[in-house]
């Protein structure tokens, strides 16, 4: 089965602030067009136009989705050409490697009329401030959600059979690798499984596992060892020389939610809310960490306490989502102001120039 389009998140509004894996996502990409100038809304439309043109000419296109505005695009990666076009505006982060050689910076302020923007100066300043304040409030709410989640986890960690959890982990390693080693250095590519967005948590698990023949879905409770298994799996892949796609948690970037080992045709992911999935294919298998490694009766013993954690966690994440929604509305208003001040003929010239550089 061939896959022509993949959807990923490279950055996220996390409990630890905005965190980006864009450098890892672009590993191996030697032709990078970076759109600068902080012209709200324009990079996304440019990237989409260029990516849509490439979709019909290459085997695979990866869309990097924005966690800030629903439906917006932060970048497009074309692996076949080792090329990418990305939004380099704040707060997205891309470490320069060889400006002018690997990175070509395109300043989009050149296509915007300063005279037109001046007419809306006060509105623009107010909207920019609202974006900053609401995004910061969202991240504070997600930080509270993570604190609650850690309290939630503590209940199950206290009742975790570590010996049994390690046994499950060893089983997973054998399932993935057996005695196999790859005679090369591994490549570890990191991104997010999903993201906190203005519409709530969102992920692309079905798309990202579409061509993976075998999937393992880990079920369990917070603190039952799911992320630990995935971290050990990544370390094992690296030691054995196998490439791995590593998908971090959109709430806590220090935690892992999914690992794909393409050369082995295998994927394993945390299949609990907010990215809960069920066995849909004959080849899917469930790994239930609650049943395998948590003391029986834990749910029942702490029923009231666990329900309070669940409610507090839901309230905090809902609050964070509401703030992201407010920030998105401000961004969309900014987009309209910048669009009104944009010279579309000059935009078309820039798009054509990028297409020539990419040889689309």
**Mean pLDDT confidence for 301-330:** 98
Query: pTM for this structure?
Result: 0.95
**For position 96, what pLDDT does the model report?**
78
**Mean pLDDT confidence for 283-302:** 97
Assign 3 a pLDDT band (cuts: 50, 70, 90): confident
Residue 17 has pLDDT above 60, yes or no: yes
Percent share of the chain, pLDDT over 90 = 93
DSSP state of 160: B
Name the pairing type of β-strands 5-9 and 61-65: parallel
* 8 Å CB contact between 247 and 257: yes
**Mean pLDDT confidence for 158-162:** 97
Give the tens place of pLDDT for each residue, 104-118: 999 999 999 999 999
Tokens 């869309």, residue?
63
**For position 208, what pLDDT does the model report?**
97
What ranges in the chain are assigned the alpha helix state H? 22-25, 42-55, 114-118, 121-157, 162-177, 205-208, 226-240, 289-293, 298-301, 303-340, 344-358
Tokens 């970048």, residue?
75
Helices and strands, number each (H, E), in the chain: 11, 16
Sequence-separated (6 or more) residues with CB below 8 Å from residue 174: none
What average pLDDT does the chain have? 95
Measured between alpha carbons, how far is 127 from 329 in angstroms, rounded to an integer? Answer: 9
**Mean pLDDT confidence for 7-23:** 96
Give the tens place of pLDDT for each residue, 25-58: 999 999 999 999 999 999 999 999 999 999 989 9
Residue 97 has pLDDT above 90, yes or no: no
Give the tens place of pLDDT for each residue, 319-332: 999 999 999 999 99
Return the biggest CA–CA distance within the chain.
Answer: 69
Residue 198 has pLDDT above 80, yes or no: yes
Percent share of the chain, pLDDT over 70 = 99
* 8 Å CB contact between 203 and 275: yes
**Mean pLDDT confidence for 51-75:** 95
**Mean pLDDT confidence for 193-219:** 97
**For position 283, what pLDDT does the model report?**
97
**For position 93, what pLDDT does the model report?**
75
End-to-end CA distance of the chain: give it in Å, rounded: 25
**For position 360, what pLDDT does the model report?**
57
């Amino acid at each position: 089965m061939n896959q022509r389009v993949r959807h990923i998140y490279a950055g996220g509004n996390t409990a630890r602030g905005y965190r980006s894996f864009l450098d890892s996502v672009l590993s191996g990409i030697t032709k990078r067009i970076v759109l600068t100038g902080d012209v709200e809304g324009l990079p996304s439309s440019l990237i989409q136009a260029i990516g849509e043109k490439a979709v019909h000419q290459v085997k695979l296109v990866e869309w990097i989705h924005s966690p800030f505005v629903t439906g917006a695009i932060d970048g497009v990666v074309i692996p076949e050409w080792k090329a990418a076009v990305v939004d380099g505006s704040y707060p997205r982060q891309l470490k320069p490697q060889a400006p002018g050689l690997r990175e070509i910076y395109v300043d989009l302020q050149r296509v915007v009329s300063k005279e037109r923007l001046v007419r809306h100066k006060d509105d623009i300043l107010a909207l920019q401030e609202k974006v900053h304040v609401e995004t910061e409030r969202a991240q504070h709410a997600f930080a509270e959600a993570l604190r609650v989640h850690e309290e939630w986890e503590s209940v199950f960690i206290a009742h975790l059979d570590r010996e049994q959890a390690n046994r499950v982990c060893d089983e997973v390693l054998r399932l993935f690798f057996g005695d196999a080693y790859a005679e090369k250095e591994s490549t570890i590519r990191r991104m997010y499984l999903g993201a906190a967005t203005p519409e709530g948590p969102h992920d692309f698990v079905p798309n990202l596992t579409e061509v993976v023949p075998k999937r393992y879905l880990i079920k369990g409770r917070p603190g039952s060892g799911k992320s630990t298994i995935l971290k050990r799996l990544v370390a094992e892949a690296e030691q054995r020389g196998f490439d791995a796609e590593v998908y971090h948690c959109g709430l806590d970037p220090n935690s892992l939610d999914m690992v794909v080992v393409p050369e082995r045709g295998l994927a394993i992911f945390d299949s609990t809310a907010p990215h809960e999935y069920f066995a849909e294919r004959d080849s899917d298998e469930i790994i239930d960490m609650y049943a395998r490694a948590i003391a029986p009766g834990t749910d029942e013993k702490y029923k009231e306490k666990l329900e309070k954690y669940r409610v507090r966690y839901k309230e905090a994440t809902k609050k964070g989502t509401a703030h992201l929604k407010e920030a998105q509305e401000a961004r969309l208003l900014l987009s309209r102001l910048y669009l009104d001040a944009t010279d579309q003929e000059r935009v078309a010239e820039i798009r054509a120039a990028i297409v020539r550089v990419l040889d689309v």
